[in-house]
Each structure stands twice: as structure tokens, then as C-alpha cells.
Amino acid sequence: MSVFFDEVGPELYRENAFRITGLAVDATARDIRRRSEELRLKERLGVSQGAGATVLPLSPPPDATVTDQAMQRLRDPARRLEDEFFWFWPSRDGGPDEAIAALRRGDADTAERLWQESSADPATAAHNLAVLAHLRALDRTAEHEHGDGLDPAGRALWAKAFTYWTRVVADPAVWTLVDTRVSQIADPRLTPETATRMRSRLPAALLSINARLAVRAARDGRHDDAAAHVALMRRSGFATATVMDVLAHAVEPDTARLRSLGENAERTIDADPARGAEVTARFLEQAMSLLGTLRALLGDDDPAIQGAGDEIASRVLRCLVPYARATDDWPTTTGLLERVQPLATTESVRTRIEENLAAARSNLLFATCWFCKANPTDEASTHEQKMWGDLQTEYVGPYIRYNWQRIAIGVPRCARCAARHRRTIRTGRWATLLLLAAAVLTLVVLDNSLVLAMVLFGVCMVTWFGSLPVYGLPRGAFQQVMAFDPVRERMSAGWKLGERQGGSQT
């Protein structure tokens, strides 16, 4: 049993055996043999096949290999029937076929008009109008594919083609003609159900052409063209379920590649966790490119897009966990998790990403010196900021007891910043002593120097006050401590700096 239209694609009419050979769809076996011999003779003589009386000849003309393949196709009854369906049927009214003659002259507009006006053979005319509009739409798309894309004229041709094809699918007279042709061929592979099968498969076959064009455009970065083809499919007049099935089938290679890329990345990192950053970044770059293709075809709200986003986010998370454990490279881990966080759509995946991102940010916060934001933390140099809070009131008989908690928040600091802080405090103290000494000397040595001495004393007091450490830190460094997230969050919750003595007060 033949599967019809399984090879239909954008080259449908350029690969049509009747267009390649120049034969009519009602050509007999004798006509095929004579045409084959004629073309072989021309090849031996080095004579061009020429357009002759061919309907809409190809440019450039097909070579001998392509022609031989077309001849072989015409000798296969099932393949021939398919090519007959996608080419122009002769009129059955018995007179000259003026529309076909117009096509031989290259006058497609006249052929279209004649078929539109046809009343003697409306089924044949309806079929030929669909084929002509479809062929012109595909030819124009091929001409503009690498130029200005699918222009308004091209979109109009596609809309016309779908209008005609929906009429063909719905017209029982067309399928009666197909059924008659099946009976004439009398091949055991063609059964009484052949016309019915062809009719049922035709919408998906036609839509698959636009789906393939959309995929090609999306992969080339021509997202406007991709969206235009998808929009044409949705407005084709065919069932929405068929459109969605065709699109899903068209993107299967991309979704499969997405899964394959993720699996390869995980295997590589399992073998060598230290390469996690490099491998994950490369996977994410490739995955985002594929996701862009899928979005151009399906739109952001399609369940397949949401599934792909979850797939990418989950893969990145599984890649980064062993890498972070092996290297403690929290800046890279945090950056990559932040990139995939918007991709997670389901609650479970989003929660896992958020929890791991919070942990990575926390580790990043404590792994880098808070003061210089550059050097790694030196555990021995960590500044402990003591705080107390969570004040509770307890009534014990006639007494009131106040209970509170005390904590020490470690503010990450490197050895260099710790040394700089100690040096700043010492410098302030020495400056205060020097100014005090200068003030005393001024009073002792110089006459009438009370004003100058008072000024020096004033400067001395200011310097002394400014040099006083605040919880063991220079004032500037203390202001940085106040901006440290854990300290700031406790302060917002009502906690106080310092260490309140005792655990209760009555």
C-alpha cells in the first residue's frame, strides 16, 4: 500500500516528473518511451532539450540525470498518480484546451482567467487553479527567499493557493476524477480507497510545505518569514488540529536535538566536572538558538515552548551542580543560573532554579570580600558584626522579664582589606596625637598663639572623633557593613547593632 504525499516539500513542482519531461498528465507508455528516446538522442548530439512546448519549463533546464529519474518515476503507477495530481489536468469538454495552451506560451494569467470562467468542467478547473496558484507561490518564495523575504505579493499568492486547495479538498467531483484515474491505472497497489486516503492526507501534506519553509527561515534567522508562513498555515482554512500536528512534526528534529545536546553536556560534565562552565555555556548557546527557532514557529504560549524552557533550565541546573561542588566557582554558576531562570515555566522547575540560585548567590556573597568586591574571603580576616534582637516580653508574677537573642554575622573580608582597616585606625590615632602635640607646642613656644592653639585643638578633636573605630572598623568600612545584605535584613526586622549583655532583664 502506497503512502501518498510523504515526499511533498518546497521543491514539489520543480521535481514534478511532468514538468521535468514536458509530458502531459495523460501521456501513454508509448509517449513516455518516445520522449525518453528523444531526450537521450539530444544528449548524445549535445543539443539542448529546450523549452519547446513544455508547460512552465524549468530554468535552468534539468540535466540528463534529473530527467532519467523523472522518467523512472512515471513508470511507477503510484508515484505517477501523485505527480499527476500536482500537475495540470486536461479539459474533458472535448475541445481545444486553451488554458493549457496559454501556459505553454507562458501566459499564466490567461490560463487562470479561463479556468475561473470554466463551466463545462468545473472540477478540473478547480484543481488546476489550485495547482497554478500553489506553483506560483512556491516559485515566488524561492526567488525571494534569500532577498527581501516573503513580500506582500508572495503572501497573497499563498493565501490564494490555500483558498483553492480547500475547495479542492471539499469538492467531491474532484475526487471522483481521482477515483476514475485509479481505476484506469489498474495497479494492485492502488485500491478503491486510494482516492479517500489521498483526500485525507492532502491538507497535512500541503501544510507541511509551509512548515518546512518556516523551519528553514527560522534557522536562517529570518523570523519574520517564519512567522508569516505559520500565519498562512493558521489561516489556510484547514483544521486547527491538523495545523498544530504538522507544526509539531516539523519541529521534532529541533526538540530531539535539544534533548541530545543536553544529554551530551551532562555526560561530559559527569566525566570531568571541572569543565562544567565551558560545557554548560556552550550547551546554553546552542539551546537558545534552537529555542529561538521553536518560538518563531510555535509562539511563546505553546506548551512545547514551555516544555523546551523547562528542559533547558533543568539541564543547566544538573550540569552546574557537580561543577560548583568541584570548583566553588560561584560567580560563573550564579551567572548561568540567572540566564536560565526566566526559561523555567512549571512550578517545580522554577522552584528548583530559585532555590539553587539563592544558594549560589549566598555562596558567592560569602566567598568574595565584601569590602573590595574582588579578593577571595580569608576566613581568619572575617569581620564579625554582633547584633541582638527578637525582643520578647515575659510576665513572671509581679515582674516583667525581657528576653532577646544575640548573633554574630560574619562579613566576608580578605586579608588585604583587614590589614588596610587596621592601618587606617592606627593612622587616625597617630594623626590625633601629632595634632595634640602641635597644639601644646604652640601654646608653650609661641606668644599670643591662643587662637591658633584652639584651632589645632579643634582639628585634633575632629580627627580623634573621625578616627574612632565603629565596632572595630573605620567609619567608611562600617558603612559598607551596614549595606551587607544579612545585616541590612536584620536591621529591617528591628535588630540592633552590638551585644546587649545578659539574656534577660527584669
Q: Is the pLDDT of residue 466 over 80?
A: no
Of 362 and 272, the one with more pLDDT = 272
By the 8 A CB rule, do 181 and 124 touch?
A: no
All cell numbers assigned to 231 = 500565519
pLDDT at 344: 93
Each residue of 109-146: pLDDT tens digit? 999 999 999 878 899 999 999 999 999 999 999 887 66
Distance between CA atoms of residues 412 and 397, nearest Å: 45
Please provide the DSSP assignment of 43-110 as one string: HHHT-----TT-SS--SSPP-HHHHHHHHHHHTSHHHHHHHHHTSPPPPSSSS--HHHHHHHTT-HHH
pLDDT at 51: 45
Distance between CA atoms of residues 306 and 391, nearest Å: 47
Q: Is the pLDDT of residue 364 over 70?
A: yes
pLDDT at 465: 59
Residue 117 phi, psi (nearest 5): -90, -5
By the 8 A CB rule, do 341 and 321 touch?
A: no
pLDDT band at 2 (very low <50, low <70, confident <90, very high): low
Each residue of 170-220: pLDDT tens digit? 999 999 999 999 999 888 888 889 999 999 999 999 999 999 999 999 988
Q: How big, in percent rounded to 5, are the helix, strand and coil portions of the chain?
A: 65, 5, 25
pLDDT band at 505 (very low <50, low <70, confident <90, very high): very low
pLDDT at 475: 84
Closest residue by Cα to residue 91 from 70, 111, 71: 111
582597616: which residue's cell? 421
Query: Is 405 strand, coil or helix?
Result: strand
Of 26 and 147, the one with more pLDDT = 26
**How many other CB atoms are found less than 10 A from the CB of residue 217?**
25
Distance between CA atoms of residues 71 and 87, nearest Å: 15
Query: Long-range contacts for 138-144 (Cβ within 8 Å, ≥24 apart)?
Result: 138/10, 138/12, 138/13, 138/209, 139/13, 141/10, 141/213, 142/10, 142/14
pLDDT band at 445 (very low <50, low <70, confident <90, very high): low
Render the burial of 301-327: b for 16+ CB within 10 Å, e for the rest.
ebebbbebbbbbbbbbbbbbbbbbeee
Of 42 and 48, the one with more pLDDT = 42
Torsion of CA 246, 249, 251, 254, to 10 degrees: -170
Residue 71 phi, psi (nearest 5): -60, -40
pLDDT band at 1 (very low <50, low <70, confident <90, very high): very low
pLDDT at 443: 58
Report, as an integer, the average pLDDT of 261-287. 95
Distance between CA atoms of residues 454 and 442, nearest Å: 10
- Packed helices 29-45 and 64-74: angle between N→C axes, nearest 10 degrees: 170
pLDDT at 433: 65
Question: pLDDT > 70: what percent of the chain?
Answer: 87
Query: Long-range contacts for 270-279 (Cβ within 8 Å, ≥24 apart)?
Result: 270/322, 273/322, 273/323, 273/325, 273/326, 273/327, 274/323, 274/326, 274/327, 275/323, 276/319, 276/320, 276/322, 276/323, 276/324, 276/326, 276/327, 277/323, 277/327, 277/329, 277/332, 277/333, 277/336, 279/319
Closest residue by Cα to residue 18 from 82, 65, 78: 82
pLDDT at 136: 95
Report, as an integer, the average pLDDT of 5-17. 91
Closest residue by Cα to residue 294 from 210, 223, 344: 223
Query: Long-range contacts for 142-151 (Cβ within 8 Å, ≥24 apart)?
Result: 142/10, 142/14, 145/217, 145/225, 149/217, 149/222, 149/224, 149/225, 149/228, 150/224, 150/225, 150/228, 150/229
Residue 400 phi, psi (nearest 5): -115, 125
Indicate the pTM of the whole model: 0.73
Each residue of 388-433: pLDDT tens digit? 888 888 877 777 888 888 899 889 999 999 999 988 888 767 666 6
Of 431 and 91, the one with more pLDDT = 91
Query: Is 458 strand, coil or helix?
Result: helix
Q: Is the pLDDT of residue 367 over 80?
A: yes
Distances (CA, A) of 157 to 88, 232, 312, 402: 18, 11, 38, 84
Q: Is the pLDDT of residue 147 over 80?
A: no
Distance between CA atoms of residues 34 and 21, nearest Å: 11
Among 267-281, 303-317, 393-407, 480-494, the least confident range: 393-407
